[in-house]
Chain A
Amino acid sequence: MAVSSRPSLFAIPGAIARALLRAVLNGVELPMRALQNALGVPRIGWVFVAPNLVILGLFTFLPIVIDFYYAFTGGVQLYPSQRPFTGLDNLETLFECGSYLDPSSCRKDLFWRSVYNTAWFALFQVALMVLFSLITALVLNRRILGRGFFRGVFFYPVLLSPVVVALIWKWVLQREGLLNAILQNAGGTGVMWLNEPIWAFFWSVFVSIWAHMGFYTLILLAGLQAIPADLYEAAEMDSASPWRRFYRITFPLLMPNLLVVLVLALIRAVQIFDEIFVLTGGGPGSATTFIVQFIYQTAFAESIRLYGLAAAASLVLACALLVLTLLQLRISRRASEPTPGRDHG
């Protein structure tokens, strides 16, 4: 009689996975051994880094070069050889302005509107983001009941996709949505939140803070918890006032983290796109159109696709980001810990 082995739901998928892993090991080992014999041991390292370098070369370094090519050529063709060289035309088109303070006097008024919108957005969003994540981190650092739970509460939206975030708030803010219902219940009148420029801008700032605050709170919380407790004890011995303790101990020791948060938030605010695009579509009018949306629209959403113009705008954005990133590198070197801040990888 055959004795049946322990039945398991995962027995078959597990066996397949193991077979696959073994196949990868054996299938790759022979050629790798040949390469190892040919190259020698330290140089085999090149083979290990090769896949990464090929991908980065194809999808990051090569595109940078092509970006410049696009920016200096015109026409509506995607293929580089079919694009006529136009020199600085694209940049001039972007920068042709009656007055830089007045977007409507510019040839590409939408570009300048998006630049100004982005600047205002970054200013408000980053300032409020740093403020609220600091307050939240300080509150979470107190001895409170259920700290883990509340940390999770503030962090949860960070994991949600931008589209989901936008839809959650669109549903709350719509004409017959929850917010208007609450307002009317309290005796107020409903507002078309996303149809009025000021409100749409306000909610763009609010929703993006709502979605990302938990991330920065976490960084600050880690900074707060790294401050040695005996500093506070010593200060207490010297009967330093709590306020003094905050701005003599907490604030200076948290400064590196605050700077990191500030610059990371800036870099990401300048590139804001996903949530706002789904929430407002850039409207009403162009009230919430930001630079990345301008690039996206110019290159991919119009019937006439001006790749050159979009690439030129990308270069302008790249310059702004380069300055911010160098700032970040300086700061994080001083903070002696690298903090790569990307949300795409």
Chain B
Amino acid sequence: MDRLARMLTATRGRGRFDWTDWVTYAYLMLGLVLMFGPVLWLVASSFKTAAALNEFPPRLLPYGQSVVAVPGRAEALPLFRVKLPDGTTREMVELRRIGIEATMADPKRPDEEIKVNIRDRERVREFHLATENYTEIFGKFNFARFLWNSVFITVIATLITLLFNAMAAFALSKYRFEGRKWVFLLILSTLMIPPTIILVPNFLVVSELGLLNSPWGVIWPAVATPTGVFLLRQYMLTIPDELIDAARMDHASEWRIFWRIILPLSAPALAVLAIFSVMWRWNDFLWPLIVLSRTENFTLQLALNAFQGELTTQWHYLLAMTVMTLLPVTLVFAFLQKYITTGIASSGVK
């Protein structure tokens, strides 16, 4: 029990490597496999051809069926290693197959056909990255359109969020107008009203405003965030009022003070909110699912959802789309991990 507790409480190593350290690293390794394993598996699978994805048990790396161009044939034919009756093995292409009997031929002499039982042959494989999964989703599924919708909503909503929340935070931190406290409380109180409980009436409001099936129907309800106002206000409180007074001496208008002094000085807090906002809007699902019902308006998340629900899911395309969707978030994470984690740890917001 003591040992267990030491593992739980130790904050400083003693230079020894005892069994509690082994347990720690075992836990970390397990975490590494559990957290990254499925993602890596998804990425590896997304480079497999449809045929390779259908194999069971699956291979770790993308190995595809080798194909050979044969004179006189438009398509390249699949290559097999065939065990012939005389005991030799040869690499041959499959011309056609009926039941368990395949008609095969040497790739160089396709006219000499041999009938082979399919048990006497095995596929020839080679390492092959099926990058066509990625290129074809643009042509076949209007992927560019979904990508554009997602980017548009994310970027525009984030810009408006930053502007509106910064304006409110500026007023709430730098002006002593009547009712200021009430406004702040009112904005914070919306924390208690999660979007999930006002889905139906919000649908009415958005449809009355004529925003159904429009990216603005997703953008407008999302831009006034209590979290953002709170975060920015706390930061702006630390900006000295003397700067504002000095600007007023120079006859700067209040808007100019906000735009030229407060906004630039709040850049760190704005950056944190921008990262959050991008994550929120990029990952949004339930609200867009309700507002956007036409395929051409779908965001990436909606497209993925619609696509995976189809009767015969074409996994090779779906996996490629999924990787494309998680790629931006992963890049943001790789470069901004420190800011994201400290931002969350200090504000308790996600």
Contacts and interface: CB of A to CB of B under 8 A. Distances in A.
Contacts of B142: none
A75 interface: no
A246 B258 CA distance: 49
Given A66-B205, A164-B325, A185-B57, A170 B308 contact: yes
Contacts of A299: 199-200, 203
A70 to B, nearest CB: 6
B326 A171 contact: no
Contact of B224 (A43, A56, A229, A339): A56
A153 B255 contact: no
Interface stretch (A2-10, A192-200, A307-315): A307-315
B109 interface: no
Interface in B101-121: none
B8 A138 contact: yes
A129 interface: no
Contacts of B326: 160-161, 164
A52 B224 contact: yes
A98 interface: no
A34 B221 CA distance: 29
A161 B325 contact: yes
A150 interface: yes
Nearest to B308: A167
Contact of A160 (B190, B196, B329, B349): B329
A245 B347 CA distance: 28
Interface string B35-78: 11011011001000000001011100000000000000000000
B294 interface: no
A242 B5 contact: yes
A178 B172 CA distance: 53
* Chain A interface category by residue count: 35 or more
Interface string B156-190: 00000101110110111011111110010011101
Interface string B224-245: 1111111000000000000000
A80 B165 CA distance: 32
B254 A340 contact: no
Nearest to A275: B285
Contacts of B198: 60, 63-64, 67, 314
Contacts of A55: 164, 220-221, 223-224
Contacts of B135: none
Interface string A48-72: 1101110110111111111101100
B195 A274 contact: no
Contacts of B287: 344
A154 B31 contact: yes
B259 interface: yes
Interface string A191-223: 000000000000000000010000100110110
A292 interface: yes
Contacts of A271: 194, 196
A215 B226 CA distance: 19
B12 interface: yes
B187 A142 contact: no
Contacts of B221: 55, 58-59
A127 interface: no
A311 B224 CA distance: 23
* Chain B interface category by residue count: 35 or more
A32 B165 contact: no
B28 A343 contact: no
A281 interface: yes
Contacts of A154: 31, 35
Given A32-B253, A296-B199, A210 B286 contact: no
Contact of B28 (A144, A162, A184, A296): A144
B98 interface: no
A125 interface: no
Interface in B193-221: 193-207, 209, 220-221
A178 B58 contact: yes
Nearest to A70: B200
Contacts of A170: 308
B36 A153 contact: yes
The winner among A69, A142, A243 for most chain B CB atoms within 10 A is A142
Interface of A: 24-25, 28-29, 32-33, 36, 41-49, 51-53, 55-56, 58-67, 69-70, 78-80, 135-136, 138-139, 141-144, 148, 150-164, 167-172, 176-178, 181, 184-185, 210, 215, 218-219, 221-222, 229, 232, 241-246, 249-250, 260, 264, 267, 271, 273-274, 278, 281, 292, 295-296, 299-300, 307, 310-311, 314-315, 317-318, 321-322, 325, 337-345
10 contacts: A32-B253, A53-B186, A60-B198, A135-B27, A156-B35, A156-B39, A159-B340, A242-B10, A243-B2, A325-B191
Interface of B: 1-13, 24-25, 27-28, 31-32, 34-36, 38-39, 41-42, 45, 54, 56-58, 161, 163-165, 167-168, 170-172, 174-180, 183, 186-188, 190-207, 209, 220-230, 253-256, 258-260, 276-277, 279-280, 282-287, 289-290, 301, 304-305, 308-309, 315, 318-319, 322, 325-326, 329-330, 332-333, 337-338, 340-341, 344-350
